[in-house]
Amino acid sequence: MEMLNTLSDTKVLEDLRALSARENEVTCEILLYLIEVDNRKLYLEQGYGSLFDYCTRALGYSEPAAMRRITAARCSREYPGVYQRLKEKKLTLSSISVFSSVLSKENVQSVLEAVCGKSKREVELYVSRFRPAKKL
């Protein structure tokens, strides 16, 4: 195995960009598989009571990582545009977790336009407009 410290700066940065692209591709593929496992409820056959339980215990995801993936998978199943934008790196798993609760058939296009390319904090601010203000 080649030691990273022997690579040129240019090579390290090129390789990192390529790995990042592959990581996104694999994440999107994992979501497709999670959708299928969820649709078929295959986790039950494996002795797990929920997809979350399967993701944390069988796949070894942390609880927050499992929730982000499950939320993104289910949101992608319901709204294919979400998946496409994730694949294009216009959305992140974290941002999908934030805005998924406010999506509807009626607002999906406007929400996606508003959140694509935004940071998680910007998405949180946008989503806060959908929630009523707390009474003092």
Q: What is the pLDDT of residue 130?
A: 87
- C-beta neighbour count of 131 within 10 angstroms: 9
- The pLDDT of residue 131 is 78
Give the long-range contacts of residues 127-130, CB within 8 A, separation 24 or more.
Answer: 127/98, 127/99, 127/101, 127/102, 130/102
DSSP 8-state assignment for residue 82: H
Confidence (pLDDT) at 1 = 54
Whole-Å CA distances, 121 to 66, 80, 125: 20, 23, 6
pLDDT in tens, the chain (136 residues): 569 999 999 999 999 999 999 999 999 999 999 999 999 999 999 999 999 999 999 999 999 999 999 999 999 999 999 999 999 999 999 999 999 999 999 999 999 999 999 999 999 999 999 877 666 6
Rounded-to-integer distance, Cα 55 and Cα 120, Å: 23
List all residues 6 or more positions away from 112 whose beta carbon is below 8 Å from its beta carbon. 81, 82, 85, 91
Please give the structure tokens belonging to residue 95: 């941002």
Per-residue confidence (pLDDT) for residue 21, from 0 to 100: 92
Alpha-carbon gap, residue 53 to 48, rounded angstroms: 6
